[in-house]
Structure 1
Amino acid sequence: MAERTRQKILDAAAVEFGAKGYSGARTAGIAARAGVNQQLIAYYFGGKQGLLDELRRRWSTRQETLVPPEVAFAESLQAYLDMTLDHLDLARLVVWQALGDDPGQGAEEARSEQKRRIEDGVRRIRDRQRAGELTDSVSAEFIVLLMHMAAFAPVAMPRMVRSVLGVAPGSADYRRLCREQLTTLLSRGGGTEAVR
């Protein structure tokens, strides 16, 4: 019962933080969404900051276990797109934090963890470039940025995605299109044939 209540609170916090950012979210709103007494937030998580820290920890754990290093680039990109777009509330929270809505407590640790993950992603892309899977005419850092942009565009700019690509943001069509186009552009052949 306690674990189910904790999960209801975390789910409600993800929705509230995603909609309003950390600064705009209120524990009363989170409690109301979860259908629990507001005091349970303090009891289980120590307050709003504890909720944010737990959501960050879970997002980080998902990223760490997302893709084994030996899978192909297209599979890796697909997994990242799925993780981001299947958890829109958490993805919105990431966007809020990228815009600066990131409280002092735990923020520095979260930034350090993100930096470490990005550096690991760059290292993996370089390994793929050395192995001939990806072109080396595009920097590994820019490839990592492209992957993030593709994953978060439906979250941050859904109307733009629909207008430019003519597909629903975050849909299976969007994911397929991103996977195919980026794989073609970044393959050793350098995107000599456009994927349709």
Structure 2
Amino acid sequence: MGEIRNAERTRKAILQAAKEEFFEKGYTGARIESIAKRAGINKQLIYHYFKGKEQLINETIEDFMASLPSGNFTLPADPRDIAEFRFNVNVNHLMEFLKFTAWEAVDTVPENVNGEEHRRRVLQSYNEDMKAKQEKGQVPKELDPALLTLMLSSLTVYPLLYSSVTRMITGRAPDDPEFQQRWAQFLGLISERIFKMDVEQE
């Protein structure tokens, strides 16, 4: 029993160290040697638990996603609240992960890594949620649900990731509470414009 607990502890330590390494340096920049050093273990021990870097990144992201409160991925019933909700989740729970995803724009990585399957399931669930709201008359029929999901993703991620652009345009950093409050309110106003007509017909 003690051996099992030790193995679980070691595995958890590796995943935590891998999360820090991958999120800080991206897939290409991350090194197994650095992960071992962060975890305080021998490099060869990592290969005892994981086949290689690809398995490690996938399991790291799966573990990270599983650690988040389940309510983070349950969208509000009213489409007018989705953008503000997703922005607040990003600010409060996903900043490290979002910085990691920025590496994907410049990284050359193998297919089916970076927890792609898990992430696709979450994003496709947002598409399905938007389609369901459209069928209820809460979303204008002429708007493509997938493109709406992409738009909301952009509006709730871009200002946080591209801090220099946010600062140059607004004069405030994205981690400034005043900016976050103003942007959340702005997202609410934009959402009112997009979804207002059909919601009022209920």
The verdict on a shared fold, with TM-score over 0.5 as the criterion, is yes
- Given that residues 81 and 191 in structure 2 are in contact (C-alpha distance below 8 angstroms), is that contact kept between their aligned partners in structure 1? no
Unaligned runs of 5+ in 2: 1-5, 198-202
- Given that residues 84 and 188 in structure 2 are in contact (C-alpha distance below 8 angstroms), is that contact kept between their aligned partners in structure 1? no
- Give, in whole Å, the separation in 2 of the partners of 1:132 and 1:51: 43
Unaligned runs of 5+ in 1: 191-196
The structure 2 residue matched to 1:68, chosen from 64, 67, 74, is: 74
- Given that residues 161 and 167 in structure 1 are in contact (C-alpha distance below 8 angstroms), is that contact kept between their aligned partners in structure 2? yes
**TM superposition score normalised by structure 1:** 0.72
Corresponding residue for residue 88 of structure 1: 95
Rate the CA distance shift 1:58–1:152 in 2: closer, same or farther, 3 A: farther
- Give, in whole Å, the separation in 2 of the partners of 1:11 and 1:96: 19
Please tell me whether residue 10 in structure 1 is matched to residue 15 in structure 2. Answer: yes
Please tell me whether residue 183 in structure 1 is matched to residue 188 in structure 2. Answer: yes
- Given that residues 129 and 136 in structure 1 are in contact (C-alpha distance below 8 angstroms), is that contact kept between their aligned partners in structure 2? yes
- Give, in whole Å, the separation in 1 of the partners of 2:180 and 2:186: 10
In structure 2, give the amino acid aligned to 1:167.
Answer: R
Rate the CA distance shift 1:4–1:13 in 2: closer, same or farther, 3 A: same
- For residues 139-192 of structure 1, give each alpha carbon's deviation from its aligned partner in whole angstroms, at most 9, with x where no partner exists: 4233211222133324531111222233332454444334322222122337xx
**TM superposition score normalised by structure 2:** 0.70
Farther off after superposition, 4-13 or 169-178: 169-178
- Give, in whole Å, the separation in 2 of the partners of 1:5 and 1:115: 29
Identical amino acids, percent of aligned pairs: 24
Rate the CA distance shift 1:18–1:30 in 2: closer, same or farther, 3 A: same
RMSD: 3.3
Please tell me whether residue 161 in structure 1 is matched to residue 151 in structure 2. Answer: no
- Given that residues 150 and 178 in structure 1 are in contact (C-alpha distance below 8 angstroms), is that contact kept between their aligned partners in structure 2? no
Moved over 6 A (4+): none
Corresponding residue for residue 193 of structure 1: none
In structure 2, give the amino acid aligned to 1:47.
Answer: G
Larger radius of gyration: 2
- Given that residues 6 and 44 in structure 1 are in contact (C-alpha distance below 8 angstroms), is that contact kept between their aligned partners in structure 2? yes
- The count of residues paired between Structure 1 and Structure 2 equals 188
- Given that residues 18 and 89 in structure 1 are in contact (C-alpha distance below 8 angstroms), is that contact kept between their aligned partners in structure 2? yes
- Given that residues 19 and 61 in structure 2 are in contact (C-alpha distance below 8 angstroms), is that contact kept between their aligned partners in structure 1? no
